[in-house]
């Protein structure tokens, strides 16, 4: 994301222009939908000009791509750190599974907007997003494979299906999880992680 020394903040808010644009775009996309939100509405809500938007983001779908991209980058960085940790593979897989649930819930609007509107991205951006997600899933899968090689996890399971099954549940969070509901993000994360580990471990 490009920034310069003089154009990174504005309007007296103390919040950088790209972050203001992303925050208002996220709010508007969530409230009225990506396709029903105009660039003009976004810049007016952020208190900037169209020129400022196009300085940081080349188009409206760049905003949509970045809304999801920032969450995926966070999750990828955290997964890389967890996977490279010193703990056993069972502990690292459990931590990775819990982490993606917590970070998904903490950024639920972002992920809901994206999955609802991904088809409206340009083909090039859709391809890029799929590649980014594939890298994340492959890193997660490598933990399952490591556990199989070490004899901790069931050898009869296909690691790619384990990953697809787990992330199908994670991506479904936006359809039912509520911040004011009976379960915290950490409680859901613990249960999801326990279910995954129970399903893959050798009995």
Residue 13 CA to residue 105 CA, distance in Å, equals 27
3-state DSSP call for residue 162?
Answer: helix
The 8-class DSSP code of residue 11 comes to T
Maximum C-alpha span of the chain: 61
Residue 98 CA to residue 87 CA, distance in Å, equals 15
Q: How far is CA 111 from CA 66, 71, 75, 116, 174, in A?
A: 11, 8, 12, 8, 8
The pLDDT value recorded for residue 13 is: 52
The length of the chain is 203
Is 111:195 a contact under the CB 8 Å cutoff? no
For residue 18, what are the β-bridge partners? none
Q: How far is CA 138 from CA 37, 90, 125, 143, in A?
A: 34, 17, 20, 9
pTM to 2 decimals?
A: 0.85
Residue 153 CA to residue 145 CA, distance in Å, equals 8
Q: How far is CA 102 from CA 74, 82, 185, in A?
A: 12, 14, 5
Q: What angle do CA 97, 137, 170 make, to 5 degrees?
A: 45
Token pair of 90, please? Answer: 């069972």
| Res. 4: pLDDT tops 80 | no
For residue range 109-132, list pLDDT tens digits in order: 888 887 888 888 889 988 998 999
Comparison of pLDDT for 192 and 10, the residue scoring more: 192
Residue 191 CA to residue 188 CA, distance in Å, equals 5
Q: Which residue has the tokens 């580990």?
A: 197
The pLDDT value recorded for residue 14 is: 64
pLDDT-above-70 percentage for the chain: 93
- Share the mean pLDDT of the chain: 90
Residue 102 CA to residue 85 CA, distance in Å, equals 19
């Amino acid at each position: 994301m490009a920034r310069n020394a003089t154009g990174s903040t504005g309007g007296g808010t103390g919040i950088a222009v790209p972050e203001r644009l992303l925050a208002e775009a996220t709010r508007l996309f969530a409230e009225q939908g990506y396709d029903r939100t105009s660039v003009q509405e976004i810049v007016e809500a952020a208190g900037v000009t169209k020129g400022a938007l196009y300085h940081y983001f080349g188009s409206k779908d760049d905003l949509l791509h970045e809304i999801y991209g920032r969450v995926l980058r966070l999750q990828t960085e955290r997964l890389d750190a967890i996977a490279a940790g010193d703990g056993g593979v069972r502990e690292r897989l459990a931590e990775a599974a819990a982490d993606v649930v917590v970070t998904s819930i903490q950024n639920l609007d972002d992920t809901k907007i994206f999955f609802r509107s991904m088809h409206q991205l340009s083909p090039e951006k859709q391809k890029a997003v799929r590649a980014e997600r594939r890298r994340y899933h492959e890193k997660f899968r490598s933990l399952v494979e490591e556990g199989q090689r070490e004899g901790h996890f069931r050898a009869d399971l296909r690691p790619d299906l384990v990953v697809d099954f787990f992330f199908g549940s994670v991506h479904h969070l936006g359809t039912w999880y509520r911040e004011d509901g009976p379960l915290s993000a950490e409680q859901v994360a613990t249960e999801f992680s326990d279910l995954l580990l129970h399903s893959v471990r050798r009995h």
